[in-house]
Structure formats: structure tokens, C-alpha cells
Amino acid sequence: MGLLDELVGKATGMLGGAQGGEGQGLLDEVMGMLSGGQGGGLGGLVQNFKDKGLGDIVSSWVGTGENLPINADQIKEGLGSETIRNLAAKVGISPDDLSTQLSQFLPGIVDKLTPDGAIPEGGLLEKGLEFLKGKMG
């Protein structure tokens, strides 16, 4: 799981350094969202992005090829303004900062949680998220 370790290192460094507990809080909220919390989990997130016309981008994260980039405005569009505001309030950062940070690490997280090019079923997603949380904690 070397690639997952690399992702953990990058996400932790990006979010944990200057922001202290805020970075861990954001990662915890994203993990909760992807594991089936608000928004229907990883499958719900992927579907929301597809419904908003961002299917090519999110499909590249799930697929086995190169991840297409996403910008903060597209993150806001894909997740919805209410979700962005709620997550930002929980973490204690501005919605704009949250969107920017998500645009930088969400593609890699989704990519690493879908190594076979499909959304895992049967508890595999939860195991992957628990592993990722353990590496960051």
C-alpha cells in the first residue's frame, strides 16, 4: 500500500502542518462523508458530481488512468454549497478555503479508495477508510 502511504503523507502534510487540528478535522469529516455519512458515501459523491456535469472528472478519479484536476468552484458545484458550508463550519475554516483544500486532495483519496477502477463493495471501502484514518491519526 505504498501509494496509499504516499497519499496519507501528502494529505497530512498539506492539511496538518500550518493548521494544526483543523487539517485533521477536515480529513475526519471527509472520511465520514465518504464512508456513508451525509451525501450517500463515496457512491453518492460520485453520483452528485456526475449529476452536476462533472462526470468525466470524477470518473477519472475512480478509473485506473490519470486523475483529471478539479478546481475549487467545481468542488462547490459537485458537493453543493450547503455541504461545503456545513463542512467548513465543522472544521472552522472558510468555505472558500475548504473548497480549495478539497480540490487538492479529494481526487487522490477517491483514486486510492478505488484501486480497481470501481467503488468497493462489501465493507472494503470501510476497511480502506479505517486504514487511511489510522495512518493519519
Total domain count, the chain: 1
Contact present, 25 and 91 (Cβ < 8 Å): yes
CATH of residue 89's domain is: 1.10.10.690
Entry pTM = 0.75
The residue range of the domain holding 89 is 2-136
Cell of 113: 479508495
Q: Name every residue whose Cβ is closer than 8 Å to that of residue 43 and which is 6 or more positions away in sequence.
A: 119
What is the chain's pLDDT, residue by residue, as a tens digit (137 residues)?
454 455 555 555 544 443 445 556 787 788 778 777 556 788 889 999 999 999 999 999 999 999 999 999 999 999 999 999 999 999 999 999 999 999 998 998 888 888 888 887 755 555 555 655 555 55
Helix/strand/coil for 86:
helix
Q: H/E element holding 127?
A: helix 124-136
